[in-house]
């Protein structure tokens, strides 16, 4: 009986070694096609704090203070992410003509707007942050030494496209 179990176990191991992982689909540029990153509503807080942790790690590596998550900046970011989807274009102006400054004021943020990064992509939040770090203007928003707060939100369309918005601000000093 032990011999039969050993033979069956060996056969299962041998057969599992024969299976191969599916080959990634290759695009016309010769690179693997991106996979759709599906976000569950229950993942929102984890995604936001994972982004804040990543931003703070980058800031710390440059000798900068970290930023704190601000609910009002996050509300402004969420509004803009959804609005970019409605407009079907990534840009800093709302469908009502609002600017990033208008949106943070509407959300009740008392500090000073420092910057806004936006993205239209199928990539994860950390892949998006990496792309922002490759461009001087968006990297400057992430690494702004004057920033003390951040808001971060997204809107995902049914097809999987994600509209990301990161907003930074400087809190009003306590008196």
User: Of 21, 77, 36, 15, whose CA–CA distance to 160 is shortest?
Assistant: 36
Where do the domains of the chain lie? 68-170
Q: Which CATH number fits domain 68-170: 3.40.33.10, 2.40.30.10, 3.40.50.720, 3.40.50.2300?
A: 3.40.33.10
Task: State how far the Cα of 171 lies from the Cα of 147, in Å rounded to an integer.
Answer: 8
Strand bridging mode 162-170 / 112-121: antiparallel
pLDDT digits (tens, 9 = 90+) for 35-47: 666 677 778 889 9
Structure tokens at 72: 């009002």
For residue 122, what pLDDT is reported? 85
| Residue 22 confidence (pLDDT) above 60 | no
**pLDDT score for 17:** 46
pLDDT digits over 105-125, tens only?
999 999 999 999 999 988 899
């Amino acid at each position: 009986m032990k011999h039969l179990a050993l033979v069956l176990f060996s056969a299962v191991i041998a057969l599992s070694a024969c299976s191969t992982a599916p080959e990634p689909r290759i695009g016309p540029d010769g690179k693997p096609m991106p996979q759709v990153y599906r976000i569950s509503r229950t993942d929102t807080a984890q995604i936001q704090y994972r982004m804040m942790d990543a931003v703070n790690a980058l800031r710390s590596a440059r000798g900068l203070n970290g930023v704190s998550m601000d609910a009002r900046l996050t509300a402004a970011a969420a509004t803009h992410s959804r609005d970019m989807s409605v407009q079907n274009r990534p840009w800093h102006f709302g469908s009502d003509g609002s600017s990033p400054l208008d949106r943070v004021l509407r959300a009740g943020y008392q500090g000073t707007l420092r910057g806004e990064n936006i993205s239209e992509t199928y990539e994860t939040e950390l892949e998006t942050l990496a792309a922002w770090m490759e461009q001087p203007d968006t990297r400057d928003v992430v690494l702004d030494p004057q920033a003390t707060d951040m808001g971060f939100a997204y809107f995902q369309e049914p097809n999987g496209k994600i509209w990301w918005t990161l907003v930074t601000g400087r809190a009003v000093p306590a008196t």
